[in-house]
Structure 1
Amino acid sequence: MDTPLPANLAVSFEFFPPKTEKMEQTLWQAVHKLAPLQPEFVSVTYGAGGTTRERTHATVCRLQKETGIQAAAHLTCVGATREEIDTIAKTYWDSGIRHIVALRGDPPTGVGTAYEPHPGGYAYAADLVAGLKRAADFEISVAAYPESHPQATSPADDLDNLKRKIDAGATRAITQFFFDVTAYLRFVERAAAAGITVPIVPGILPITNFTRAIEFAGSCGAAIPPWMADLFAGLDNDPETRQLVAATVAVEQCRQLHAEGIQNFHFYTLNRAELTVGICHMLGVRPRELATAPAPATAS
């Protein structure tokens, strides 16, 4: 393996709000292991239909207060009127949260259900972005899909939708996870040709469970390369080897992206720190005391 990448890489991490006391312990263990890596920001997801609204708010505010790292709250169009969403946004602003990840969102019944705008609500993510910018001067990130959103009528239509979100005031796009680096690079080229100039940050999913990753990929339109299935074959009952393979795959993906000039990476942590910490370490993103520690003396 080559030497570590430059330590000026910027990383960010995504968490989801815990449902149980045990899950809460797991989350904060992950937070305390990842915080020393000094991420640019951390984000907290929002359940379908706004089902985790209160837990998302509590987690975001605690993250920012206890770690000092900028915390971003996910907010969707689903399950609320414009007035209700504006009130939520104002509550975030008053709590010191300045960054929102604005998404259309999935219906409460699941991603396979047809989406219908809430009566009196923001219809789509571009509308939500515009509403948030009217509410306060938020930094706003939005979603991008290198292999197109599963419900998009065409790649061109999907790209037009991203352009509408940027034109409405978003300052960053974060991609759905992907494993095909070429697909991401082509998407970035197409976005630039369409006049999109904001950063399009690649979303990286460290694979803790390959079967689950296949399910995730099926729901969001991400392709699983055949070579990846071969790498994870036979490792269902061998978590140690699976983690080693997963870290190697993610590091190689990041190295390929960095070779193309990418400096920012967004990790979907699934509230687990081990893989992400290991991947970041191999990329040269380490706690400051490790990154600047002097080399051990050699015997004369």
Structure 2
Amino acid sequence: MSGGQVAYHLRPNKAIERHVFIELLTRFHGFCPIHEYTYIGFGGPFLEDFRMVESHFGVARMISLEGDAAVIDRQMFNRPFTSIECRRQLSGDFIATYPREIDGNAIVWLDYAEANARSAQIGEFKSLLTKVREYDVVKITMNASPATFPVPGTPQAGELNQLRFEAAERQLGDLWHPTVSAEDMTRKKFPGVILGCLLRAAKQAFPPGLNLQYVPTTSFVYADSEHQMLTLTGVIAPRAEVARLRTALRLKSWELAYREGGAPIVITTPVLSTRERVFLEQLLPKYRRTLARRGKFLVAGTSRESSELIESFARFHRYYPHFGRILP
């Protein structure tokens, strides 16, 4: 469920996305009191997002879902707060009975890792949306790497994307948009395909006749390995209150907010030494647009790749994690 053996707490791009999520919740906290919410997610062995949510908002109740007994044992050892319930339960089973045991509002993060279960994952996302309350927050993370689709044999040049397209169409079924083609089965374009499927699932969960709707707030793409991940976060709100919600969250002026009809924002930052980071940050924000040209080093194999990474760092530098060695 949660990629239990992956050291997500040491991966800078996921760490950045997690910090942006906390900023979004901070904005939302001024609209609804998050400390009264229940936080539900896939904590993995280190429960890092649970630690951050509790530290920032003092959430009274938190539930981590996990299917692997070995990961549960590590959670219990690493658990930073007794308010975290480490539950051995699959997300689908939890959603099937939701919200029977949830008193009040919730923040739910479906943080999927598997690449071969996208249809089931989107199905769980849609099922959850049909059961949540107004002003609940629902976030989903999914694998968005087109290379994860199995391709039989050794395809000839030009056939690979077509075979992946056919596999993706079979996997995603009813949510597949007729305008998607084999040209969209690239690392750059495929996250947009997954995002479209999620947004269509949300619209199906809240058809026009219902008073509530899912309001997308942020969407990102990041990778700390060969696997590329897509995230989508949104708030369930009464249709008459959507404008007020957007104003309260200051989404119009926030450069990291999702724009309707837009693509997910890519988080891709370089691995920097402390000295390199300090040098670049000293030039911000004044020289943000020319930061790459003012740098005294390349952070990738080519000048173009280096410039793209440094430009991304300039955009996300406030969320860039600090990793350090702690001596015993």
With normalisation by structure 2, the TM-score equals: 0.34
Higher-Rg structure is 2
TM-score by length of 1: 0.37
